[in-house]
Chains A and B, each alone.
Chain A
């Protein structure tokens, strides 16, 4: 079945450590996205990628970094510079940027203490 996988489902880290969240899709989509979800705030866009080796900052990119070396993969690194990293992180993809709906993965809940 085609879809988006995110791993792990739950992630725990100590403050000051960088952590990388995985996102893989087998939908053959060109565009991929990372969102952060906090209670009562909806989804906020962190980074998005239109194509391999290209990505753009979203609305809340500070303290995060991404790479897009393969079409299928779009990992997100939460760095120690992110002041409030505890959140639910969602990865999504679409056929291309600005075309078609976005399909979402199951999410990763990151807790930093």
Chain B
């Protein structure tokens, strides 16, 4: 079965500082990987996704993520954080065709980002 670990429950950064949110996954084949963001009391918005190809993926709002198969990681980065980036971030892994979990996403527990002015 697939699983996702986000080691950091809460991260605090200063506005303008760089950001890296960690995500490690467990899956037997090449996974589909996603990062979503959620503001309090709201639904989830997709930041970026990796299906195949270039392992460095660009997303919305200046975010990027890098798929590293050897480390089973898909860390999210942003070079300069804005106060509006404060939210909760979720990493998710999906199984491709043929897998027993086909079509289902498994989410990490989330990382809450606080931005200090």
Contacts and interface: CB of A to CB of B under 8 A. Distances in A.
B109 A42 contact: yes
Contacts of A90: 43-44
A107 interface: yes
5 contacts: A40-B109, A42-B107, A94-B103, A97-B103, A102-B46
B54 to A, nearest CB: 17
B108 A42 contact: yes
B90 A48 contact: no
A109 interface: yes
Contacts of A107: 41-43
A54 B49 CA distance: 27
Contacts of A102: 46, 105
Interface of A: 4, 6, 31, 33, 40-45, 48, 50, 58, 88, 90, 92, 94, 97-99, 101-107, 109
B52 interface: no
B9 A106 contact: no
Q: B interface, how many residues as a size bin?
A: 20 to 34
Contacts of A106: 42-43
A110 to B, nearest CB: 13
A104 B36 CA distance: 10
B47 to A, nearest CB: 10
Most chain A beta carbons < 10 A, residue from B4, B107, B108: B107
Contact of B94 (A4, A6, A50, A98): A98
A42 B23 CA distance: 13
Interface in B64-95: 90, 94-95
B34 A104 contact: no
B61 interface: no
